[in-house]
Amino acid sequence: MPRIVDADAERDAILERCLLPFAREGYGLVRMRDVAQAAGVSTGKLYHYFPDKRSIAVALLERELASDVEALGAALAGARTGAKRRAAFLRFLEDRQDRLAATLLLALDHQRVEGAGAAATVLRAYRDALGALLGIDAEVVITMVLGVLARRVLDPAGVDLERHWTAVEQELNPVQVDDAPMTAG
């Protein structure tokens, strides 16, 4: 009998550990050797689970997107009022900042590999999922999220999340009736 493996779990574990090198170095600069090392496997095993480098990048992005949406859902699960949702959302962003920033980098690289506009559908789905969970039209909020993440990548030190969300407060809480209205600063 062969070595028994849960292929899906293995694949998933590899992806989990691939995220960092792919995001940090970028698709064009990570070497499969780096990826394998980060994943704690041999390059051969990498190719046992993925046909090529490109596929890893694609699978990585897909997995991150699904994971992000799921995590957001979980974060907002218990929050019933607008204020609680807002707070939960901010906590989610804060906690998941690094991972989300990585996803952004992955998505931008994705364009290089799959061609311009390849991520458009994904981005819209993201926006709509966010909107649905927050109960708003997330058009502007998703942009601010992207902006915050881009800033975080470029300048990891100082991004004042609170201030940014206060600035788009009305987007987050457009017609809030179930709790006290909030005014910016």
Partner DNA sequence: AATGAATGAGTCTTCATTCAT
Partner DNA sequence: TATGAATGAAGACTCATTCAT
Judged by the rule CB under 7 A, the positions of this chain that interact with DNA are: 1-5, 10, 30-33, 41-45, 47-49, 51-54
Of the candidate residues 32, 83, 159, 182, the single one contacting its own copies (CB under 8 A) = 159
Binding mask 24-63 vs its own copies (x if CB under 8 A, - otherwise)?
xxxxxx----------------------------------
Q: How far is the CB of 27 from its own copies (least distance, A)?
A: 7
In this complex, which beta carbon is closest to its own copies, that of residue 69 or of residue 122? Answer: 122
In this complex, which beta carbon is closest to DNA, that of residue 1 or of residue 180? Answer: 1
Q: How far is the CB of 110 from DNA (least distance, A)?
A: 16
Total residues at interface with its own copies (CB under 8 A): 47
Give the span between the Cα atoms of 17 and 8, in whole angstroms: 14
Q: By the 8 A CB rule, do 165 and 90 touch? A: yes
Q: Which long-range contacts (CB under 8 A, 24 or more apart) does 21-27 make?
A: 22/56, 22/57, 22/60, 22/102, 22/106, 22/109, 23/101, 23/102, 23/103, 23/105, 23/106, 26/105, 26/109, 27/53, 27/57, 27/109, 27/112, 27/113
Residues of span 65-84 touching its own copies by CB under 8 A = none
Q: Which amino acid is at 91?
A: R
Question: Phi and psi at residue 44, in whole multiples of 5°?
Answer: -60, -45
- Binding site partner of 1, from its own copies, DNA, none, Cβ cut-off 5-8 A by kind: DNA
Q: Does 164 bind its own copies (CB under 8 A)?
A: yes
